[in-house]
Amino acid sequence: MPTINSKPRLDRHIAQRNLAPFDMTVMAAKKIDWKNFIMAQAGEGPNSLTLQHALPADSFRFYLAVPKKTFERHAAKGLRGWALVDKVANKPFPDAVILHATGSGAHLQVAAHAKEPFLGMSLGIEGDPSRFKTVRVSDVAMVHAAHDDTIVGGFTLRVQASARS
């Protein structure tokens, strides 16, 4: 049974692989598909989330939604590779602060939150089916690390995109 001190390299149940598939060809262009997730406090000190993917920037955009109070308390000062967005076509929850990844490797440092051990967030992917040139299968990973950069969890999403004729 995983605990707050479990290690993902020793306990395969911590991180979730291929949590949810994204078939971008069934999405309307300019609509963000959101997947909610929970980030737990790992150890003491700040934790981080890092977005990793190899998808082309001209076809895909990635977003992170954080409840406004959570963002203000724990994440507002820890943005690297994320930009605030004023307006999007759809939000996963009404009071969301929306961040747009400016590239792969976008990093969010989250201050220690032991009093609120679980923080809800949502990862969004927006795709433009008219720009898909070939069939692609690619993983998008959200890597969760402790204050010492030890990977403590996270998840992957499998993105499938087919060329349109």
Binned at pLDDT 50, 70 and 90, residue 72 comes out as: very high
Range with the poorest average pLDDT among 8-17, 26-35, 62-71, 86-95: 8-17
Over residues 122-130, the mean pLDDT reads: 83
Residue 140 lies in a domain: yes
Instruction: Enumerate the β-bridge partners of residue 65.
Output: 98, 122
Of the candidates 115, 99, 121, which has an alpha carbon nearest to the alpha carbon of residue 37?
121
**Residue 135 near residue 96, CB atoms below 8 Å:** no
Containing domain of residue 51, as a range?
A: 16-161
CATH code for the domain of 94: 2.60.60
Residue 79 lies in a domain: yes
Domain count, the chain: 1
* pLDDT in the model for residue 40: 87
Residue 6 lies in a domain: no
* pLDDT in the model for residue 135: 44
Asked whether the predicted pLDDT for residue 1 surpasses 50, the reply is yes
Question: What would the two tokens of residue 28 be?
Answer: 């309307």
| Alpha-carbon distances, residue 112 vs 6, 70, 153 (angstroms) | 18, 12, 16
Chain CA centroid to CA 121, Å: 8
Chain CA centroid to CA 48, Å: 11
Residue 9 lies in a domain: no
Residue 129 lies in a domain: yes
Range with the poorest average pLDDT among 24-28, 38-42, 53-57: 24-28
